[in-house]
Amino acid sequence: MRVLLFTGKGGVGKTSVAAATALHCADRGARTLVLSTDPAHSLGDSLDTWIGAAPTAVTATLSAQQLDAQERMEEHWGEIQDYLVEVFNWAGAEGIEAEELSVPPGIDELFSLADIKTHAESGEWDVVIVDCAPTAETIRLLSLPDILEWYMERIFPMSRRLNRLLGPVIQRVSSLPVAGDEVFGASRRFFDSLEGVKKVLADSERTTVRLVVNPERMVIAEARRTFTYLSLFGYRVDAVVANRLLPDDVSDPWFAQWKQLQSEHLTTIENGFAPMPVLRARLAQSEVVGVDSLRCFAAELYGDLDPTEILHDGDPLRVEITDGQYELVQQLPFADHDDLEVGRRGDELLVRVGPYRRAVMLPDTLRRRPVEAAALRDGILRITFGATRTGGAPWDTTTRGTNR
Q: Looking at residue 77, what DSSP letter applies?
A: I
| Averaged pLDDT for residues 139-162 | 57
Candidates 396, 380, 37; CA nearest to 232 is 380
Task: Please write the tens of the pLDDT for every residue from 274-296.
Answer: 889 999 999 988 899 999 999 99
HSE-CB of 91 using CA atoms within 13 angstroms: 12
Candidates 99, 98, 16, 28; CA nearest to 62 is 28
User: What residue type is 90 in one-letter code?
Assistant: W
Say which CATH topology domain 1-306 has.
Rossmann fold (3.40.50)
Separation of alpha carbons 287 and 292, rounded Å: 11
pLDDT at 248 over 60: yes
Task: Please write the tens of the pLDDT for every residue from 324-371.
Answer: 788 888 888 888 888 888 888 777 788 888 888 887 777 777 878 888
384 close to 371: Cβ distance less than 8 angstroms: yes
Portion of the chain with pLDDT greater than 70, in percent: 69
Backbone angles phi, psi at 270, to 5 degrees: -65, -40
Separation of alpha carbons 338 and 334, rounded Å: 12
pLDDT tier, 391 (very low <50, low <70, confident <90, very high otherwise): very low
H-run or E-run covering 183: helix 181-194
User: In the sheet that 402-403 helps form, which strands lie side by side, from edge to edge?
Assistant: 317-322, 325-331, 380-385, 371-377, 402-403
401 close to 342: Cβ distance less than 8 angstroms: yes
What are 237's strand-pairing partners?
209
What is the per-residue pLDDT for 37?
80
106 close to 140: Cβ distance less than 8 angstroms: yes
Q: Which residues of 75-103 are buried (b: 16+ CB within 10 A; e: fewer)?
A: ebbebbbebbbbbbbeeebeeeebeeebb
Task: Please write the tens of the pLDDT for every residue from 79-130.
Answer: 555 655 555 555 555 555 545 544 555 566 667 777 888 899 899 999 999 9
Note the Cα 50 to chain centre separation in Å.
26
Q: Looking at residue 236, what DSSP letter applies?
A: P
pLDDT tier, 58 (very low <50, low <70, confident <90, very high otherwise): very high
123 close to 129: Cβ distance less than 8 angstroms: no
* Domain edges within the chain: 1-306, 317-403
Q: Which residues of 261-270 are buried (b: 16+ CB within 10 A; e: fewer)?
A: ebeebbeebb
Say which CATH topology domain 317-403 has.
Immunoglobulin-like (2.60.40)
What is the per-residue pLDDT for 41?
75
Least confident span in 102-106, 312-316, 318-322: 102-106
Separation of alpha carbons 110 and 72, rounded Å: 10
Q: Give the Cβ contact number of residue 161 at 10 Å.
A: 10
pLDDT tier, 4 (very low <50, low <70, confident <90, very high otherwise): very high
What is the per-residue pLDDT for 63?
97
What is the per-residue pLDDT for 148?
61
pLDDT at 403 over 50: no
375 by DSSP, 3-state: which? strand
Q: Does the reported pTM lie above 0.85?
A: no
Separation of alpha carbons 190 and 200, rounded Å: 18
Average pLDDT taken over every residue of the chain? 79
The percent of the chain in helix, strand and coil, each rounded to the nearest 5, is 45, 25, 35
Pairing mode, if any, of strands 237-245 and 340-345? unpaired
Candidates 241, 215, 206; CA nearest to 16 is 241
